[in-house]
Amino acid sequence: MFYIESNIPFKDSDEIVSKVKEECTALGSQFADSIVKYGNKQKLQIKSVDALPTQGTVVKVTINSVISEGNANPFNPHRKQVFATATLMVDGKAADSNTFSRFSGGGFWGGFKGSCSVLQHTVNTLGNDVAKWLKKSAAKA
């Protein structure tokens, strides 16, 4: 069983653009839900919890930074990127770590999507990346 926080935190909240913190309040929980969803597809047992335990197998994930430029406008399209770090901890000791990033311009119909919607798509894809990495890391640990 792997444990992750149910709301992935920002590594340093001061480094995150205030509009993202104020408007995209579900970003951390969307990221955690995505890791659990894709982890289940990888046949991993992942449980999201409010506080990480000090013992057991823990996946400590942080959102390091978020770039949120542009908007739903054909002359200034979305340019969103999320950077995250995941560390596999076994009984309080780091077993493996990796950094991840994903970019999105909003995709098809991006000009009709809001910034938080595009960022949600980005963390959803990152959740898949983290789950795939976790499956490989767990096999090594």
Q: Look up the pTM and report it.
A: 0.89
d(CA 31, CA 9): 10
* Ramachandran angles phi, psi of 50, nearest 5°: -70, -35
**What would the CATH number be for the domain defined by 2-140?**
3.40.50.10610
Q: How do the domains of the chain map onto residue ranges? A: 2-140
Per-residue pLDDT of the chain (141 residues; tens, 9 = 90+): 999 999 999 998 887 888 888 988 999 999 999 999 999 999 999 999 999 999 999 999 999 998 776 665 555 556 778 999 999 999 999 999 999 999 876 655 555 556 788 888 899 999 999 999 999 998 776
Tell me how far the alpha carbon of residue 110 is from its chain's centroid. Answer: 20
